[in-house]
Amino acid sequence: MVGLPERDRRLAHELSAGVLRGQRDLDRALDIERADPRLHDILRLGAYQLRRLTRVPAHAAVSTSVALAREAVGEAAARYVNQALRRVARGDARARQGSGETHPPWLAERWRVRYGPEETHRLMAWNDVRPPLTLQPARWDLATLRTELGDAGVAVRDAPFGAGLRIASGHPRELPGYEEGAFLVQDPAQALVVRFAAIPAGAAVYDACAAPGGKAVALATRGARVTAGDVRRERLDRQSHSVRRTGVAVHGVAADLLAAPFRADSWDAVLVDAPCTATGSMAHHPDARWRLTPGAIGRLARRQAALLDAAARLVRPGGLLVYATCSIEPEENERQVEEFLQRHPAFARRPVPGAVPAGLLTTAGDFQSLPHRDGVDGAYAARLGRSG
């Protein structure tokens, strides 16, 4: 999307995200298994425009798709795409029927076992709608941000649990205060994880899997002395941009937590926002549902365990280890923490009463948000203290 005008970039994002959210339904409408695989994405894009984008005329959606097919595969392919999309436009029986399943069947079944059919339906419905944009104050406080947005004619409302402001429409770069670093775009769940962590002002914190840097910035605005590291160098540029724009004091490093980048017992607090299946944030990342496989959960859980073990070495006696994910899978969350505590008896749960609403706490005292229940991304966090 680099080099595209802003309006075209937004349309391209809407098309790609929309196709990913509705892929199974689109494939059923198109009877896509009969089509040349080279035409699959062209057909999906055309069908999505016909079914969901009223501002794109039907003839334009069809003709553009036909032209793409002709260029990519040839004249016979163009005729096939023309016929298939015209069936969708007419609303033929196959096109009207939806599978009702917009997630991989194995994942939907897994959630049904855990949550039951009604909650699973609500969870998948949440994932299939574009999520609202939430702003978290950075250089401006919440009251100033609300006032400036309102004065500019931007409709705002409080995010759930008072975790930021939601706007009805608009692009972050076009909002008052963007260039000044007034705010960050961050889902309420991630802001709530930082609140739950309750890391004291002045504490030396290592954010070990930090990029793109939202939690590091939030910790710094709350008074922590933050060093933000990540092994993924390509994502560090985004982190640096967020830090420069918001003007916080965060020291960035390219470091692999598994390679013991610091001496043992050297940090007041370590945050491990671990790589995970992202099953709690599929509304923001609709591609995640199709990239995920059943085996990935176990592989990621093993990596998370290794990261936790490495982080535990860095926490000084009396310090904190905060483990977080954007997953709603127990293997990555509460089970991961229970197994860690068995391996590391010097650590124990240390939640801070009142840090977040009680309804967001598990029976063990960990943080857990669920999209269909709380209206925010699904996220998990455990606050673990090391004995002195």
* Backbone torsions φ then ψ of 254, nearest 5 degrees: -90, 110
The reported pLDDT for the residue numbered 17 is 77
CATH 3.30.70.1170 domain extents, the chain: 133-185
How many residues are recorded in the chain? 388
**Lowest mean pLDDT across 132-141, 283-292, 357-366:** 283-292
Position 347 pLDDT exceeds 70 = yes
Q: Which two tokens stand for residue 156?
A: 């705002």
Start-to-end CA distance of the chain, whole Å, equals: 52
How confident is the model over 126-136, as a mean pLDDT?
Answer: 91
The reported pLDDT for the residue numbered 98 is 41
Cα→Cα distances 254→49, 71, 111, 231, 265, Å: 42, 43, 36, 6, 20
- E-state strands within the chain: 133-137, 156-158, 165-167, 183-185, 204-207, 225-230, 250-254, 267-273, 315-325, 347-349, 367-369, 379-386
Question: Among residues 307, 215, 301, which one has the least CA distance to residue 260?
Answer: 307
Q: Which residues contact 208 (CB under 8 A, 6 or more apart)?
A: 229, 255, 257, 270, 271, 272, 273, 307, 311, 314
The reported pLDDT for the residue numbered 54 is 66
pLDDT tens, residue by residue, 237-287: 788 888 889 989 999 898 999 998 899 999 999 999 999 999 999 999 888
How confident is the model over 70-76, as a mean pLDDT?
Answer: 85
Position 343 pLDDT exceeds 50 = yes
Residue 158 binned pLDDT confidence (cut-offs 50, 70, 90): very high
The reported pLDDT for the residue numbered 286 is 85
The reported pLDDT for the residue numbered 205 is 97
The reported pLDDT for the residue numbered 10 is 67
**Catalytic residue (choose from 220, 326, 381, 384):** 326
Residue 18 binned pLDDT confidence (cut-offs 50, 70, 90): confident
pLDDT tens, residue by residue, 24-42: 778 888 888 888 888 888 8
Bridge partners of 325, per DSSP, are: 380
**Lowest mean pLDDT across 60-64, 154-158, 178-182:** 60-64
Superfamily of domain 133-185: Sun protein; domain 3 (3.30.70.1170)
Cis peptide before 212 (omega within 30 of 0): yes
Is residue 209 part of the annotated active site? The answer reads: no
Q: Which residues of 166-189 are buried (b: 16+ CB within 10 A; e: fewer)?
A: bbeeeeeeebbbeeebbbbbbbbb
Q: Report d(CA 374, CA 384) in Å as an integer.
A: 24
Question: Among residues 121, 111, 104, 119, which one has the least CA distance to residue 21?
Answer: 104
DSSP secondary structure string, 253-309?
EE--GGG--S-TT-EEEEEEE-----TT-TTT-TTHHHH--HHHHHHHHHHHHHHHH
Position 52 pLDDT exceeds 50 = yes
Position 129 pLDDT exceeds 90 = no
For the chain, what is the mean pLDDT? 89
How confident is the model over 129-150, as a mean pLDDT?
Answer: 93
In this structure, which topology does domain 188-386 adopt according to CATH?
A: Rossmann fold (3.40.50)
CATH 3.40.50.150 domain extents, the chain: 188-386
Position 93 pLDDT exceeds 80 = no
Question: Among residues 329, 285, 359, which one has the least CA distance to residue 131?
Answer: 285
pLDDT tens, residue by residue, 163-210: 999 997 778 888 999 999 999 999 999 999 999 999 999 999 999 998
